[in-house]
Structure 1
Amino acid sequence: MPRRGGLPAPAAARRPPPLLRLLLRLLLLAAPLQPGRGLNLCTSGSASSCEECLLIHPKCAWCSKEEFGSTKSVPSRCDFLKNLIANGCAGAIENPRSSSSVAKNVPLSSKGSGQTHLDVTQITPQKVALSLRPGDRTSFRVQVRQVEDYPVDLYYLMDLSLSMNDDLDNIRNLGTKLAEEMRKLTSNFRLGFGSFVDKNISPFSYTAPRYQNNPCIGYKLFPSCVPSFGFRHLLSLTDKVDRFNEEVQKQKVSRNRDAPEGGFDAILQAAVCKEKIGWRKEASHLLVFTTDDVPHIALDGKLGGLVQPHDGQCHLNEANEYSASSQLDYPSLALLGEKLAENNIHLIFAVTKSHYVLYKNFTALIPGTTVEILHKDSKNIIELIVKAYNSIRSKVELTVWDSPEDIGLTFTATCQDGLSYPGLRKCGDLKIGDTVSFEVSVEARSCPAEDTSHVFTIKPAGFRDTLEVTVTYNCLCGCTGLAEPASGKCSGNGTYACGLCECDAGYLGARCECEEGAGGETQPGLCREVEGKPVCSGRGECSCNQCVCYESEFGNIYGPFCECDDFSCARYKGVLCSGHGECHCGECKCHTGYIGDNCNCSTETASCVSSDGQMCSGRGNCICGRCQCTEPGAFGETCEKCPTCPGVCSTKRDCIECKLFNSGRLDNQTCQKHCKDELITTVDVLKTDDPNAILCAYPVNNCVMKFTYSELASGKSNLTVLKEPACSSAPSAVTIVLAVIGSVVLIGTILLGLWKLLVTIHDRREFDRFQSERTRARYEMASNPLYRKPISTHNVEFTFNKLNKSYNGTVD
C-alpha cells in the first residue's frame, strides 16, 4: 500500500485511514476566515492530500506547486485561497466549487383540460444538474402552480358491510349529482366505483357452510344479504356518470363477523391496479374511502393464519375481485403511503364522527391524506368530496424521493403573500392559478465511496409533475490525474502527485527518503507539540522525526503530534455528537441544521410553525426544533393550546361560526386550516360545572351564544355549544308604561306608609310623655289670679287715712 511522504503514520496506520476522510469533511461553518483569529481549520486539519484538504472546509484550497512551504509543514499546502495566493501559489491552486445548472425548463401552464397531456406543466424547471463539493452549498429555485381546469379522476370506494345499508340507499343517484358539482371545478371529470367488506375467512367473516350464500341467515333485522368478499372493482373510471348510478343500484350489502373492515386491502388494490382502475397520468387522482368503522391493519391477518406480508402488487382477477384476500396479510400504513404517493393519489377518508380521531391520526402517517366527517346516512357525501377537493387544491407541499443519505436539503417557501418561510416546504390557502416558489439549498456532506452520480426527485404531493435532480461530486483534484509513479522527486520510492510524494511500502519522509525500521539519528523534539509535552502526545512513536500514531479500538488518532482523535467529543444519549455531527480533535462539528456542544439542537423551525402560520402560535420561542411556551397557560407542540390566554374565546368563536353556522370572518379554506383540531358538539343545556372548562360568550343579534372550551388528552379542543343563542323577549310599550306607573304608585305608597309610621310613633311618644307628666303633677285649690269678683268693697276710712297721711308728708 503506497504512503504519502510526510504522513505521521507507518504501515497501515501511517496514511490516515478512510474514516479520516469522513471525519474531516464536516468542519463547516465554525471555521474562522482568517488565520490569527483563532483556529485555522485548513492548516490544522492535518490534510495529507489534495482530496482530504477539500473535505475539511469549503473555503480550503490546495497548492499543488512543487516547491511550496517547508518539508515539515505538509498541511501548509492546505489553506484559505487568500493565504495561498499571498504565499506565491497563484497558478497552481485546486479549489473546485459547487454549481447548479438547469437542463430542462418548460414554462408553467395556465390551464389543464384545454391542452394536450404533454403540454400541461405544473412545476418548473423539470431537470437540474448539480456539481457538489462537500460542504459547499448551492441552490436553485422551483416554481409550482395549481393550474386551472385540471382533469380529475375520482374513484369511490365504499364499505358494503351491513351497517352501511342506509348509506347505499342514499348514494344510488350520487353519480349525477356529484358530476354536476365537480364540473363546476373542472370540465374533465371521470368517476369510478368499487366496494369492500372483509376477508372471507375466519374469524373475520362467517365461514360455516350455511352462511356461504347468505351470511345474514338468522339475523332478524336484515335476514338476506350477499356473500362476503374482500374487494370488488365494479366500474373503471369513466365520464359516463349514468353507469356509476347503474352499478350502485345493483349493489347489496353483506355481513362480516368482527367490527373492523378490510378497507386497507381495497385501498391498496385501487392504488396499484392502475390499468384496471383507469387512472390517467395527466389527471388529479382522488380516492374517496367511505366507512363507518375501523380498519384491519398489518399483522391482523395472523388471527386468520395469514403470515405472508402484503407484497404491494395488484391481485385483481378476471372478475375484478381481489384474489389474494385469503393469502396475504393486510397492508401496513407505510405500504399504503408508499403506493399512494407512487401513483399520485389523494386519499380522502370519509368516516363517521365516532371514528374521526382515529383516521385523523392516520393522515399524519399517510402523506397526502385528508379526513372528513361522514353523516351516518351519507347525505353529505357530495359536500364532503367538494370540500376535500378544494382543500387539496389549496395547498402545495414538496416531497423528496430517493435522496442520497450524504445529501442535505433545506427549503425556503415563498407563498402567495410574497413572504419567505425558511425551513418550510409547503404553502397553503392557495387559489387555483396561484404560483408559489421554493428555494432549494443542497449540500453534499461527504464524497461517495466510488466516483458515481446520484439522481433524486422533487415533486409536489399528489402531482404527476416532477423535478429530476442529478448530482455529481467534486471530490477529485485535477492534479491527481497528473501523478508520476516512481518519481525522482520522491527518491524513486513513491508517486509524485499534487506537490507531495506518496511513498511506497517501507519508506517514509517528505521525499520518501527514510526506510522504515532503518537506523538513523532521531530528534524527539521534532515530535513534541510543545517543549515539555510527551513525545507524540503519548499516543504514538517518533520515527524519521515524525509521529507515528497508535491505532485505537475507539477510533482514529491523528495529527502531526497525534494530538487529535475522533472519539473524545461530547455525546448525547450515548451517541457521539448525537449522530448529527462529526468529532474532530475533541470538538463536535455539527451537520447543517444542528448546533450545540453535542449537536443535539436542531435549527429546523418547520415543526414550530402552528396551523395559523405563526411561530409557536406567537406564545413561545422555537428552541432546538421544539416550542418553548412563554405565555402562562400555553401548551401543545406549537403552544396552540391556551385556555387562559387573552383572546382564546374570540379564536374559538371564529371556529364555531365557520364550522357550525358557515358564517364569521373565516372563509372555508382558512377555517379548515385553523380549526382542524376543534371538536364541536351542540347541546340544549350547557353545563358549566366542569372545572377544566372555560366558559365563553359572545353577542348574536341581541342574544348571547354561550359555549365551553377545554383541552382533551388527544391534543384536540373540545367545544360544547348551545344549539340556540340565549335570548330574552323584548317587553311591550304598554308593559313598560304600566310598570313605570306601578313603580311610582308602589314607591309613593311605601313613602306614605313610612311617613304615617313615623308620625304615629312621634304622637305616641308625646302622648306617653303627657300621661307621665299628668300622673306626676299635684294640684291644690286656688283662685285664678286673673279672676275679679263682680262685687267691690271700699273702706272709706282707710282710704281717707291713707290720703291724709300722704298729705302730711309721711309714709306709714
Structure 2
Amino acid sequence: MWMWRAALCCMLLETCLHSARGLNMCMSGSATSCEECLLIHPSCAWCAQEEFGRGRSLTSRCDFSQNLQKRGCESRFIEFPTSSISILRNRPLSSKGSGSTQYDVVQIMPQKISLSLRPGDQTWFGLQVRQVEDYPVDLYYLMDLSLSMKDDLHTIRNLGTKLAEEMGKLTSNFRLGFGTFVDKNMSPFSYTAPKYQENPCNGYKLFPNCVPTFGFRHILSLTDKVDRFNEEVQKQMVSRNRDAPEGGFDAILQAAVCKEEIGWRKEAYHLLVFATDDVPHLALDGRLGGLVQPHDGRCHLNDKNEYSASTKMDYPSLALLGEKLAENNIFLIFAVTKRLYVIYKNFTALIPGTTVEILDQDSKNVIQLIITAYNNIRSKVELSVWDHPEDISLSFTATCQDGRPLPGLRKCADLMIGDTVSFNVSVEARGCPPRGADHSFTIKPVGFKDRLEVVVDYQCDCGCSRTAQTNSSICSSIGTYNCGTCHCEPGYLGARCECQEGEASSMYLSACREAEGKQICSGRGECSCNQCLCYESEFGKIYGSFCECDDFSCARHKGILCSGHGECHCGECKCHAGYIGDNCNCSMETSSCISGDGRMCHGRGNCVCGRCQCTEPGAFGDTCEKCPTCPDACGTKRECIECRLFNSGRLADNQTCQRLCKDEIITVETLKTDDPGAVLCLYKTDNDCVMKFTYSEHASGTSILTALKEPECGGGTDALTVLLAVVGSILLVGVVLLAVWKLVITVHDRREFARFQSARSRARYEMASNPLYKQPVSTHFVETDFNMYGKSYNGGVH
C-alpha cells in the first residue's frame, strides 16, 4: 500500500513542481489530437467537449485535468485514462510438495494478472514466492570420464545408495540419473590415429586400457531405483582425450534439452551435477577442428543415447547454455577441484541458477557437496523476466525475511524452506507499441516451474475516438470530427476547416506571434489561416502553437539525446522511470551497487547514478569490494569465520550473519600460505587459542576464505608458573655456566700439571746431558817443562 501512496505522491508532486515553475508540459506540447496529448505526460488530459476552446489554439484542449474543469470542460468529456491492475488467477501458496496433489503445488502468487498501462504512468503490483517443503527432486549426475578421473569413478560406485539416503532426509520423492562425457572424437581434441580408435590409451604404461573417446553418453534415465545407478556406474570405464579442456558444455546442453530421454519431471526441482577436474571447451574452440556451424541448441541423441552431432557442430556458448538451462528450469551445480574454483565461479555470474562447489581429488566428498549445493539453492529466490517488451520498464523491490524493503533487488537469500518472500514490481510503459505486437511477459523464479503471466493492455486510444465522424458538418464537411476537434482534409486549415492553405492577413499574422516583437512562428514556420505551419527538419520534429518547440534540442550524453533514457519535449528531457538528471544519464537503480555481502558498495562508498564511488582510501572495484590496504579487512573476515564456523562472535546471535557473510569458506587441516595473492590473518580466541585463515579477492569480486578447521591451542599457563619457570631457567643457566667454567679450569690445571711432571721426569733421567750441570770435581791439565840430570821432561799435572 505504501508503494501506491508513494507513486501517487510523486505524480502530484511532479505536477505541482511543473505548475510552480510556470511550465505546463501539456499545453506546451505538440498535441493536436487526444492520443498525442496522452503521450506527452501521464498527468495530461484531453477535453473532447465540442464548444470548449473555441477561438483558442488547438493545444489548449490538452491540459491538466483540474485546469480543464476550471476552464469549463465538463468531467464527462475529459479523457484521462490511468493505469490499473486486474488479478486473473490467484491460487494460494502451497505448504508441501509431496503427495498426490503435487501437480497442483503453487510456489508463486498470483499466477496471472492483467495490466492496463498508460504510457509514462508508473504503477505497482506485488507477488509472493515460497519454497515449499518436501518438493520432488530430479538429480542427473554428469561425470567426466577422461583418464584423470579414474579415481573418482571408483569412489562413486556406491554413490546412488548413499545419496538416496541423504536426499531422503530432504524430500520423499527423489530420482537419480547418470551420464558421462569426454570430448569430441576428432583432432586436435582427441587422438585420431588408427591405433587409438579402439583404445586411446594404447601405449600408455600407467593405464593401458580404456574405451574409445566419445562426446556425451546418456547412461541412465532418471529413476527412483538407485541400485540401477550403482550397477551402471560399475560398468563404466574411463577414456582419454588429447588436450586438457573437456567437452563438458556439449554434455550439459544435451542433458538440458533432451527432456524426454533424460526423464525430467515438470513438477520437480531439476539438479544437474557436473563433475570434472579440468576446464571446458567454449564456443569457437570447435573451429580448431574445422567446426564452423554454431550449436543449434537442440537434442541430438541417437538410438544408442550418444550425442550424434559432436563432430558436426561447435561447442555451445555460455549465453545458449544459460538460456536452455533457464528454459528447462535446471539448476546447474559445478563440482570441480579447488584449482578450478575461480574459473567456474566466474561462469556462475554468466549463467543464472548455477552454483559451484569444491570437489576432492577422488570425489570422496561428492555427497556432502550435493547436499550443500541443494541447500544453497533452496535458500534463495531470484526472479527472472522472460519475453520482456522493450517499451516496458520494470524495477523490483525485494522484501525478505527481515521485512526491510530492498530497492533495486530482485532476489532474497538465506531463506529456510517454507519461508515466504514478497516483491513489489514497478511497471511503466514508455510508449505505444505497433499494433499486433505481443503484449505480454512472464516473471518466474530461477529454476521454478511456477511463473506469473502478465498480460499488458496499452491505454493509447481515447474513448471519444470510437465516435469519430467523417465529413462532419462541424468541420465544414471537409474534415473528420474526432474528440472535439476537426482533422481537415489536405489543403484546408482552421478550427472548423474554414480556411484554405495560403490565405493570410494581418489579423492572421498577429495570431502567429508568441509575443509582440517576436518572430512569426518563431522563425521556424509559416503563418496560414491563424495558425503556424512548422517547417520540417532533418533533425526531428518542430511543433508548438508558435513552432517554439522541438524534439531534438535537449541535453545529450555521449552524443545520445537524453542519454537514450528519456524523451525530448520542448527542450527538456522527460526521463524514463529509474533515471534522473538534465540528460537522464543518472540511473536510480542500486542493484549494481550491492556487493556480495549484501551491503551498498561494500560499506566503503556511495551509489551514484548506478555506480559505486568509493570513499574508503585504497578501495576499488565495481562495488568497492577490493581494498588490500583497508585496516579492517581481516577484522571483517574474522567475524564471518567466527559466526559461520564456530557460531560465536558479534554476529552469532544476529540473523544477518548469513546475509552479510557471502564469501566461500574452505576448511583445511593445514594452512598453506604460498599463494602470493592471499592475505594471512591471525587472531586470538577467547580461550587464548590462535585462529589462522587466509583470504584472496579475485577479479570477479568474490572472496575465498581458507581457514583451519580448529584453532591452534596450547596448554594453559599462570603467572606463578611463568615466574618460577623464568627464575629456575636463570638459576639453571647460572649453574650450567659455573659448571662449564669449573670444568674448563680443571682441564686447564690438569694439562699444566701434566706438562710440569713431564718436565721433571726429563730432568731426572737426562741430567748428564744437561749443559748447565757441572761435576763437583774438575780436572785441569798443566804443561811443565824441567831439566833433571841433563834430560828434558815434558808432562802434565792434574
TM-score, normalized by length of structure 2?
Answer: 0.85
1:276 matched to 2:282: no
- Cα offset for 1:177? 0.6
The answer (yes or no) to whether the contact 1:495–1:501 under 8 Å persists in 2 is yes
Output the amino acid matched with 1:701.
N
Q: Helix, strand or coil for the counterpart of 1:527?
A: coil
1:742 and 1:677 mapped to 2: Cα distance? 49
2:450 counterpart (465, 486, 489): 465
The answer (yes or no) to whether the contact 1:397–1:461 under 8 Å persists in 2 is yes
- Residue number in structure 1 paired with 2:46: 62
- Cα offset for 1:57? 1.3
Q: Helix, strand or coil for the counterpart of 1:175?
A: helix
Q: How does 1:190-229 map to 2 (within 5 A)?
A: 190-229=175-214
The answer (yes or no) to whether the contact 1:28–1:58 under 8 Å persists in 2 is no
The answer (yes or no) to whether the contact 1:143–1:437 under 8 Å persists in 2 is yes
The answer (yes or no) to whether the contact 1:680–1:718 under 8 Å persists in 2 is no
Q: How does 1:752-767 map to 2 (within 5 A)?
A: none
- Residue number in structure 2 paired with 1:763: none
Output the amino acid matched with 1:697.
Y
- Residue number in structure 2 paired with 1:544: 529
1:410 and 1:215 mapped to 2: Cα distance? 55
Seen in structure 2, the aligned counterparts of structure 1 residues 686 and 456 have a Cα distance that, compared at 3 Å, is closer
Output the amino acid matched with 2:521.
C
- Residue number in structure 2 paired with 1:703: 689
1:156 matched to 2:141: yes
The answer (yes or no) to whether the contact 1:98–1:133 under 8 Å persists in 2 is yes
- Residue number in structure 2 paired with 1:72: 56
Output the amino acid matched with 1:397.
E
- Residue number in structure 2 paired with 1:20: none
Residue deviations 1:605-640 (CA, integer Å, cap 9, x gap): 112222332222333221111122223333332233
- Cα offset for 1:73? 2.0
- Cα offset for 1:156? 0.2
Q: How does 1:33-72 map to 2 (within 5 A)?
A: 35=19, 37-72=21-56
1:92 counterpart (77, 86, 103): 77
Seen in structure 2, the aligned counterparts of structure 1 residues 340 and 502 have a Cα distance that, compared at 3 Å, is same
Identity %: 72
- Cα offset for 1:188? 0.3
- Cα offset for 1:736? 5.6
The answer (yes or no) to whether the contact 2:663–2:703 under 8 Å persists in 1 is no
Seen in structure 2, the aligned counterparts of structure 1 residues 367 and 673 have a Cα distance that, compared at 3 Å, is farther
Q: How does 1:209-288 map to 2 (within 5 A)?
A: 209-288=194-273
The answer (yes or no) to whether the contact 1:47–1:75 under 8 Å persists in 2 is yes
Output the amino acid matched with 1:284.
Y
Q: How does 1:677-692 map to 2 (within 5 A)?
A: none
Residue deviations 1:476-503 (CA, integer Å, cap 9, x gap): 1111111111111111211111110000
1:426 and 1:714 mapped to 2: Cα distance? 19
Residue deviations 1:317-347 (CA, integer Å, cap 9, x gap): 1110001111111111111111100100000
Q: For structure 1, which segment, 527-536 or 307-316, has the greater mean C-alpha deviation from structure 2 after superposition?
A: 527-536
Output the amino acid matched with 2:145.
L
2:234 and 2:226 mapped to 1: Cα distance? 13
Output the amino acid matched with 1:79.
D
Q: For structure 1, which segment, 158-167 or 719-728, has the greater mean C-alpha deviation from structure 2 after superposition?
A: 719-728
- Residue number in structure 1 paired with 2:94: 109
1:353 counterpart (338, 345, 348): 338
Seen in structure 2, the aligned counterparts of structure 1 residues 461 and 225 have a Cα distance that, compared at 3 Å, is same
2:722 and 2:323 mapped to 1: Cα distance? 72
Output the amino acid matched with 2:37.
C
Output the amino acid matched with 1:332.
S
The answer (yes or no) to whether the contact 2:667–2:708 under 8 Å persists in 1 is no
1:118 and 1:744 mapped to 2: Cα distance? 82
The answer (yes or no) to whether the contact 2:481–2:487 under 8 Å persists in 1 is yes
The answer (yes or no) to whether the contact 1:350–1:372 under 8 Å persists in 2 is yes
1:530 counterpart (500, 509, 515): 515
Q: How many residues align?
A: 722
Q: For structure 1, which segment, 714-723 or 111-120, has the greater mean C-alpha deviation from structure 2 after superposition?
A: 714-723
Output the amino acid matched with 1:362.
F
Q: Please, which runs of 5 or more residues in structure 2 have no aligned partner? A: 1-10, 736-798
The answer (yes or no) to whether the contact 1:679–1:716 under 8 Å persists in 2 is no
2:688 and 2:204 mapped to 1: Cα distance? 54
Seen in structure 2, the aligned counterparts of structure 1 residues 315 and 669 have a Cα distance that, compared at 3 Å, is farther
Residue deviations 1:382-409 (CA, integer Å, cap 9, x gap): 0110000000000111111111111111
Q: How does 1:312-351 map to 2 (within 5 A)?
A: 312-351=297-336
1:59 and 1:685 mapped to 2: Cα distance? 65
Q: Helix, strand or coil for the counterpart of 1:534?
A: coil
Q: How does 1:590-669 map to 2 (within 5 A)?
A: 590-645=575-630, 647-657=632-642
Q: Helix, strand or coil for the counterpart of 1:43?
A: coil
1:419 counterpart (384, 404, 413): 404
The answer (yes or no) to whether the contact 2:625–2:701 under 8 Å persists in 1 is no
Output the amino acid matched with 1:204.
F
Q: Helix, strand or coil for the counterpart of 1:171?
A: helix
- Residue number in structure 2 paired with 1:791: none
Seen in structure 2, the aligned counterparts of structure 1 residues 169 and 620 have a Cα distance that, compared at 3 Å, is same
The answer (yes or no) to whether the contact 1:453–1:472 under 8 Å persists in 2 is no
Q: Helix, strand or coil for the counterpart of 2:540?
A: coil
Q: Helix, strand or coil for the counterpart of 2:433?
A: coil
Residue deviations 1:103-135 (CA, integer Å, cap 9, x gap): 111111110012423321111111101111111
1:367 matched to 2:352: yes
1:674 counterpart (661, 672, 675): 661
- Cα offset for 1:674? 2.2
1:450 matched to 2:435: yes
Seen in structure 2, the aligned counterparts of structure 1 residues 423 and 519 have a Cα distance that, compared at 3 Å, is closer
Output the amino acid matched with 1:704.
V
Q: Helix, strand or coil for the counterpart of 2:624?
A: coil
Seen in structure 2, the aligned counterparts of structure 1 residues 721 and 482 have a Cα distance that, compared at 3 Å, is closer
Residue deviations 1:546-603 (CA, integer Å, cap 9, x gap): 2111111111111111111111222112211111111122221111001111111100
1:268 and 1:741 mapped to 2: Cα distance? 74
Seen in structure 2, the aligned counterparts of structure 1 residues 100 and 527 have a Cα distance that, compared at 3 Å, is same
- Residue number in structure 1 paired with 2:6: none
Q: Please, which runs of 5 or more residues in structure 1 have no aligned partner? A: 1-26, 750-812
- Cα offset for 1:137? 2.3
Seen in structure 2, the aligned counterparts of structure 1 residues 700 and 174 have a Cα distance that, compared at 3 Å, is farther
Q: Helix, strand or coil for the counterpart of 1:128?
A: strand
Output the amino acid matched with 1:568.
S
- Cα offset for 1:531? 2.2
1:731 and 1:491 mapped to 2: Cα distance? 109
Q: For structure 1, which segment, 562-571 or 494-503, has the greater mean C-alpha deviation from structure 2 after superposition?
A: 562-571
2:104 and 2:54 mapped to 1: Cα distance? 63
1:334 and 1:390 mapped to 2: Cα distance? 26
2:100 and 2:504 mapped to 1: Cα distance? 83
- Residue number in structure 1 paired with 2:482: 497
- Residue number in structure 2 paired with 1:293: 278
Output the amino acid matched with 2:57.
S
1:394 matched to 2:402: no
TM-score, normalized by length of structure 1?
Answer: 0.84
1:579 matched to 2:558: no
Which structure ranks higher in relative contact order (CA pairs < 8 Å, sequence separation ≥ 6)? 1
2:13 and 2:692 mapped to 1: Cα distance? 55
Residue deviations 1:500-529 (CA, integer Å, cap 9, x gap): 000001111111111123565564332222
Seen in structure 2, the aligned counterparts of structure 1 residues 735 and 411 have a Cα distance that, compared at 3 Å, is closer
Output the amino acid matched with 2:161.
T
Output the amino acid matched with 2:361.
K
- Cα offset for 1:185? 0.3
Residue deviations 1:375-432 (CA, integer Å, cap 9, x gap): 1111111011000000000011111111111111121111111221122111111101
